[in-house]
Amino acid sequence: MSATKARQSTDDTNLPTAEGGLSENKVFEVLSNQRRRYAFHYLQHADRTVYLRELSERVAAWENQKEIRELSSKELKRVKTALQQHHLPKMDENDFVTYDRGRETVRITDEAANLEVYLDVVPRFDVPWSFCYLGLSAASVVSVLWVWLDGPLFGGLPYSTLVVFITTTFLLAAIVHTYFSYSRLRLGTTAEPPGVIRQ
């Protein structure tokens, strides 16, 4: 399994992980756009043939941070037109979906349905996991130096205790990171895609 990572705030950066027949470049190209990620998420979660209007309503609701019933006709039309004329044809061309223009129906392909795509979503006023691990590493180095230099408070701490503490800290961080990645940050596994902000 290969991975390409990039920080995502509440804007439009992604990190895909691709398996199977779809190349990583193709996955990155298609899912580099937030609207296509939202469409992919809904289709993967639905796992059935979906009418264009249904897909448009859901994507427009996520984009505008509204319930479907609160959408204006202008907001819905803008998303539907973009999906119809640009995004779905591109996804169809890259084997992500089967799009029937005449019937206005779309279904995710078997290859795309089996993709595991994760987003490193960083909420506003938060930091990405890479910064968390960088901080833990820096704190570990400082702790080792502090004990080695026999500094106050922890200077007499045995190295074995320090090793257990550092190892446990990294293990707990990894467990929390794994939980968030697999249960909350994977496209297609929850009702709403990662990064959707509700007022």
Residue 98 pLDDT > 90, yes or no? yes
pLDDT average, residue stretch 116-138: 69
**pLDDT score for 114:** 87
Q: Which residue has the higher pLDDT, 83 or 126?
A: 83
Q: Are the beta carbons of 188 and 40 closer than 8 angstroms?
A: yes
User: Can you tell me the distance from the alpha carbon of 126 to that of 195, in angstroms, rounded to the nearest whole number?
Assistant: 13
pLDDT over 70 at 122, yes or no: no
- Using only C-alpha atoms, the chain has a radius of gyration, in whole angstroms, of 22
Rounded Cα gap, residues 96 and 43, in angstroms: 10
- Asked if residues 2 and 70 have their Cβ atoms less than 8 Å apart, the reply is no
Question: CA 175 from chain center: how many Å?
Answer: 18
pLDDT computed for residue 131 by the predictor: 82
What pLDDT is recorded for position 187? 65
Nearest to 13 by CA among 4, 22, 2, 1: 4
In this predicted model, what pLDDT tens digit does every residue of 32-78 receive, in sequence order? 899 999 999 999 999 999 999 999 999 999 999 999 999 999 999 99
Beta bridge partner(s), residue 107: 98
Both tokens of residue 84?
A: 């119809």
Top-ranked range on mean pLDDT: pick from 3-7, 39-43, 160-164:
39-43
Residue 28 has pLDDT above 80, yes or no: yes
| Confidence at 94, pLDDT banded by 50, 70, 90 | very high
DSSP string, 136-149: HHHHHHHHHHHHHT
- What are the sequence ranges of the domains in the chain? 1-199
Between 67 and 122, where is the model more confident? Answer: 67
- Does position 3 have pLDDT exceeding 50, yes or no? no
Give me the pLDDT at residue 17, please.
46
DSSP 101: T
Higher pLDDT, 37 or 178: 37
- Give the global pTM: 0.60
Mean residue pLDDT of the chain comes to 80
Q: Are 90 and 82 in contact (CB under 8 A)?
A: no
Cα 143 to Cα 85, 134, 153, 160, distances in angstroms: 57, 14, 11, 13
